[in-house]
Amino acid sequence: MKKNNQVVIYTSSLCGFCYKAKALLKQYNIDFNEVKIDIDYNKREEMVLKASGKTSVPQIFIGSKHIGGCDDLYELEKNSKLEIFNN
């Protein structure tokens, strides 16, 4: 995957929506970098800054573009826009 299309997903280990979002990415064979905010508090602060103050997980980014959360990712799928990020 091109660097500008790199997918980053901020997650927490007890978050069902995080597992659901990761499963969808895997279904489309989209590689992603998972950042676990419950392990590293500094990463949580990083996520909040990048996501314009949003504190819920998951927060998903494709390149520098903030996609949003799990529902937003599924909305991309509904509109057939996930395939373009396929490896």
- Amino acid symbol at 10: Y
Who contacts 55 (Cβ-Cβ below 8 Å, separation ≥6)? 44, 48
pLDDT of 86: 67
- Report pLDDT digits (tens) over 31-78: 999 999 998 989 999 999 999 999 999 999 998 899 999 999 999 999
pLDDT at 84 over 80: no
Q: Which domains, from first to last, does the chain contain? A: 3-85 (3.40.30.10)
Show the tokens assigned to 9: 């997903």
pLDDT of 58: 98
Task: State the Cα–Cα distance between residues 73 and 39, nearest whole angstrom.
Answer: 24
Q: Is the pTM of this model over 0.85?
A: yes
